[in-house]
Amino acid sequence: MISEKSFLSFILNFFSQFKLWILFVPFFLISLNIGGGLAKLPVEIRSIKIVKGMVETNDLLVPKIDGKPYITKPPFYHWTASYISYFFGSVSWYSIRIPSLIAAFLMLFIVFLWGKELGGDHLGILSVFITFSAYLFVVLARRGAPDMIFSASCFACLYIFQKIIKRYNIFLFVSFFFMFSIAFLAKAHVIFLVVVLPILLILAVKKRLRRIFSFDIIFMSLITLLVSVSWYWLLYLWNPDEAMYWFLLEGGQPFDLKIVGETAQHFKPFYYYFFRIWDLFLPFSVFIPITFFFFWKKRKMLFSDEWTYVVFPFLIVFLCFAFIPAKQPHYILPILPLLSLMVGRVILDQTESSQNQMKRFFYWSTVSYMLVLFIMVSGAAFFIISYLEYKFVPLLIIIFSVCIYLFSIRLFLLEKIQLSIYFSFVVLSCFFIIFCGYFEEWKSYDRHRKRSQVTFYFNEKIVKKDLSFFNFKDCESIYG
């Protein structure tokens, strides 16, 4: 029998070996008040209704909203949220957002492992905090939607793939196909663009494309295909016409193919992601130009370097999504950690190398980063003063962040740039305490209030200016 002391020793050794303690800082910040507020995106309204229907009817096969089938995506996320709701005893905002939180932790864990392999503990830790700081990551890690589960699974596939290429391992081999199945059951065919296409192109560049025709890969691919399409097959047996309608409707939507009708359209121009990457990856998006030039100068080495598995998937997937007519910000979430690894590599290289050929470029990039940080802290302070009734604790947090920010500036002026950036993560942590702990809940109520005002206006009703009508319980607070 394992004693409590030996078990504790094992846990501490495990944590010290992988430095997993560093992951709990962003995990704690992201989880702050995760169940607070109302729907923060329209997808959460659909999610909570689907999960509530599954829990009440025990029908896990067909996602339904108000009793009608809503089969836009495979239901792996909804299954996960349903089981968590069973565990907690009720369907709530907390229970439908927990799956995304767990997937976000998995993504950060893999970022750390991959960064550690590429450049040691420093790159692993730096890449974790760069990923956590990205606006898109924080938002989707706290949403009741399948995007984070899909993105973490795809990122895990890319990481495991490069491990298998270096050294074949049966556990990694099976893990790859397991994560592939989860990603497919989360968002279906999109995984072929995010995972399969980059892998095929990398194998072609490495002249190892014939490897995919080996018996073990064909065998596991067939098993994975059966697992991945199992839900579609059961859906087809349930109602062939309904299953084919939704399959053709959602399958053709990203490519603007109106086979059986039209659904929600998010068509944007080719350059959409080239603009949105700047705000989705804030505040470290200011380092994107120097990152591009850094890897462009080393392009001849990439074909034989382990960074091939980072740079190529990012470029391939980013350009593919740029050419596809349907575009939404969360589509590029799976490749955001790859960008974090690249930016982390540039920061470490520019701060540790004695022969710095892009010193001036990096200097002004860091100045821009500090300026963005100042704007973020100022925005948080403005929000606290203008909109929060209870200001004491939030203001203390902001005052502390300002002190750390000034200390970071001092380190920067002393040319201790790497240390300055590390201390800036304390400032970002304070910002996200305000963002996650206060702003998102306030914004969800404010959004609901504005929608209610529009509804009341057209119904010729008087709008109350207070928030007393926000007296809801769990999913009973949701109205379509």
Whole-prediction pTM: 0.86
Burial class (CB in 10 A: 0-12, 13-18, 19+), 280: buried
What per-residue confidence (pLDDT) applies to 248? 66
Closest CA to 229 of 274, 282, 285, 191: 191
What per-residue confidence (pLDDT) applies to 460? 36
The tens digit of pLDDT for each residue in 33-65 reads: 898 877 777 888 889 999 999 998 888 888 888
pLDDT above 70 for 259: no
Q: How confident is the model at residue 447 (pLDDT cuts 50, 70, 90)?
A: low
> What residue ranges do the domains of the chain occupy?
19-352, 365-450
What per-residue confidence (pLDDT) applies to 165? 85
Burial class (CB in 10 A: 0-12, 13-18, 19+), 101: middle
pLDDT higher for 7 or 206?
206
Closest CA to 170 of 118, 104, 231, 219: 219
Average pLDDT over residues 107-124: 91
CA 400 → CA 135, 377, 403, 416, 460, distances in Å?
Answer: 22, 11, 5, 21, 47
Structure tokens at 261: 């009708």
pLDDT above 50 for 457: no
% pLDDT > 70, the chain: 82
d(CA 412, CA 419): 8
* Number of Cβ atoms within 10 Å of the Cβ of 446: 15
What per-residue confidence (pLDDT) applies to 478? 35
What per-residue confidence (pLDDT) applies to 187? 86
| Mean of pLDDT over the chain | 82
Average pLDDT over residues 56-81: 86
pLDDT above 60 for 5: no
d(CA 344, CA 125): 9
d(CA 442, CA 440): 5
pLDDT above 90 for 254: no
pLDDT above 70 for 309: yes
pLDDT above 60 for 410: yes
What per-residue confidence (pLDDT) applies to 458? 34
What per-residue confidence (pLDDT) applies to 129? 92
Q: How confident is the model at residue 2 (pLDDT cuts 50, 70, 90)?
A: very low
Average pLDDT over residues 287-308: 83
Backbone phi, psi, residue 328, to 5°: -140, 155
Q: How confident is the model at residue 471 (pLDDT cuts 50, 70, 90)?
A: very low
What per-residue confidence (pLDDT) applies to 391? 84
Average pLDDT over residues 273-285: 92
The tens digit of pLDDT for each residue in 315-373 reads: 999 999 999 888 888 899 999 999 999 999 999 988 876 666 688 889 999 999 999 99
What per-residue confidence (pLDDT) applies to 459? 40
Average pLDDT over residues 284-295: 93
Q: How confident is the model at residue 264 (pLDDT cuts 50, 70, 90)?
A: low
Q: How confident is the model at residue 27 (pLDDT cuts 50, 70, 90)?
A: confident
pLDDT higher for 69 or 78?
78
pLDDT higher for 175 or 12?
175
